[in-house]
Amino acid sequence: MTMVSDGSNDRSAREADAETPRHVAVIMDGNGRWAQARGLPRTEGHRKGMETVRRIIRHASKRGVGHLTLYSFSSENWRRPAEEVGFLMGLLKYFIRRDLAELHSENVRITVIGEREDLAADIASLLGEAETVTQANTGLNLVIAFNYGSRDEIVRAVRILAERVARGELAASEIDRDLLSATLFTAGIPDPDLVIRTSGEQRLSNFLMWQAAYSEFVFSPVLWPDFDEAAFDAAIDEYNGRERRFGGVGVRQGAK
């Protein structure tokens, strides 16, 4: 007798074979255009985008992603209108105050990368609190790139190493890729396997330029407020269809 499969076993087999990226980094783009298309102020796009942040964090955790880096606020974003910047700061504070306890209960660890020296005291304090409260957690590492710019990050690392050389603590000949990587904000975090940018734009915008040297890129046409679990899964499916060679030949896509 011939049995007709309902496809569930096939789906299970595909999911078992699928490679979950260890580190996914996301450039969350399109909030302003989402709002503009609906005749709404840009701030409403950011508010809706924060709902997407919550969904994607939880979905990435369920999928077994080890590190999820979100480009939340770049060092160039301070050039935006003061009203919009103020709204974004308020949204960040609201997110931490509202969601920190829940993320902590779900074993999520929060890491913040970016410059903090000139941040307002209340913002710096909240970011530090989020890291301190969750530092012992062993689940998803949620990396928030805030006041972050990759060029500034690299310059900062080079300056730190140059100062060590000047103090006689380090020989210039000892500086290599591993040492520079260990001096970046992302020290101890594996390079992203997959970088997703939403809204259809196809550029890095000063995000993880050193770390993304061998990342796979997926440029989704979906605006960030509309980016859902299915869109995230589709990006991972596309990643799984790639062959990652890391400059060599014939390296299987999932190799670490």
Residues assigned a catalytic role: 29, 77
**CA–CA dist 225, 30 (Å, integer):** 7
Burial of 71 (0-12, 13-18, 19+ CB in 10 A): buried
Return the number of other C-beta atoms located less than 10 Å from residue 4's C-beta.
5
What ranges in the chain are assigned the alpha helix state H?
8-17, 31-37, 42-63, 82-105, 121-134, 150-166, 177-183, 229-240
Gap between the Cα atoms of 224 and 251, Å rounded: 32
Q: Give me 23's structure tokens.
A: 């580190």
Taking each helix axis from N to C end, the angle separating 82-105 and 121-134, rounded to the nearest 10 degrees, works out to 20
Per DSSP, the three-state class of 151 is helix
Burial of 206 (0-12, 13-18, 19+ CB in 10 A): middle
The secondary structure element, H or E, covering residue 196 is strand 194-197
